Amino acid sequence: MTRWRGAINSWGGIPIIITFVAIVSFIVAVIIFSISGTTEETYKAKTYTNVEGRVLGIAGAPVRIIEFGDFQCSHCKSFHDDIAPRIIEDFVSTGIATLEFRHLAFLGPESILAATAAECALEQGHYWDYSDLLFFKQNPNNKSTFSTTNLKKYARELENNYPNFDVTQFDSCLNSPEKRELVINMSENALRLGFSSTPSFLINGIPFSNSGQYEIFRNAIESAAKK
């Protein structure tokens, strides 16, 4: 015991030892955190009203906004997270505009898979809810994010928020070619219209480029409403 006490004293005493242990523990924690990545946020379901498939808003609204997007597109996620909610609040919920999402799934096979999964969710009236999940999960650096296995796992998360969601029906739909062909056809139609990047838009039939600035969207929507 005396020998150990002498060794500890030679190192600077117990306070120094405690400080050293704390520093080592902190370094180990940082390494573990770096390996495992950041803690994933919890998905929080939104509430949508006046939903008809891929279209939000009241039928007959004077302005029709169509977005051509890809679930792997980071700019599409930015629009979905930052601009779309303001458009929905200011124009869609007030009956001025409708907002429709169409697929331009051109960033690889995973884009087609993700869009197919969204169409399978649409079968059960949960297109926008599942789309939220896809953008929430988006990780352009990890192609497996939108693998078939993960897309089915995300459907289970949707079921946690919407108990009426049938995951067995979803799985069967995702395994069939019908929705995939729909996504491919829709994407080819977007290309034929001249769109080659996402997100791209039509506002009352007029092409509109995504600027990433809400005010520019607002001005374009208000101008279309006046016409």
Residue-wise pLDDT for 145-176, tens only, equals: 999 999 999 999 999 889 899 999 999 999 99
Q: What is the pLDDT of residues 1-43, one digit of tens each?
A: 555 455 445 555 555 545 444 454 445 343 443 444 433 567 6
Query: pTM for the complete prediction?
Result: 0.79
CB 104 within 8 A of CB 69: yes
**Tokens 């919920």 belong to residue:** 93
Whole-angstrom distance, CA of residue 49 vs CA of residue 62: 18
Contact 103, 190 (CB under 8 A): yes
Which residues, other chains included, contact 45 with Cβ-Cβ below 8 Å and sequence gap of 6+? 129, 132, 161, 162
Predicted confidence (pLDDT) per residue in 53-110, tens digit: 999 999 999 999 999 999 999 999 999 999 999 999 999 999 999 999 999 999 999 9
pLDDT at residue 227, as a whole number: 81
